[in-house]
Amino acid sequence: MSYAIIRTGGKQFRVSAGQTYRIPSLLGDAGGAVEFNEVLLASDGKSVSTGVPTLTGAKVSGEIVKHGRGEKIIVFKFRRRKNYARKQGHRQGFTEVRITDITLG
């Protein structure tokens, strides 16, 4: 089973072909193609290749399934005895991507 570790949106993801992942928001429409060139590590099932810091020529291809927003979190700031309380909600955007191919350079 081949897999790769890619970096996108300031985070790292372990991806394999045929799987769907929620990653930080990307530009593009649903159904469009996306390519990740920052491959940190890749495996073809027998051997593992590690980049310094990235693998040259390796890429991961996928297609955008949909865009959305995650669950709401509440940011509550409070200072006791100072009459200070602030409540704010936040929903992080995401892009759902289906990985189609892992190419080892």
Q: What confidence tens digit (pLDDT) does each residue in 16-54 have?
A: 999 999 999 999 999 999 999 999 999 988 999 998 999
Position 8 scores a pLDDT of: 95
State the pLDDT at residue 73.
Answer: 98
CB-count burial class (<10 Å; 0-12, 13-18, 19+) for 55: buried
pLDDT at 45: 85
Query: pLDDT class for 105, splitting at 50, 70, 90?
Result: confident
The boundaries of the domain holding residue 38 are 3-103
**What's the predicted TM-score (pTM) here?**
0.84
Structural domain count of the chain: 1
**What residue ranges in the chain does DSSP mark as E strands?**
3-8, 11-15, 20-24, 33-36, 39-43, 48-50, 59-69, 73-79, 84-90, 93-103
CB-side exposure of 73: number of CA atoms within 13 Å?
A: 7
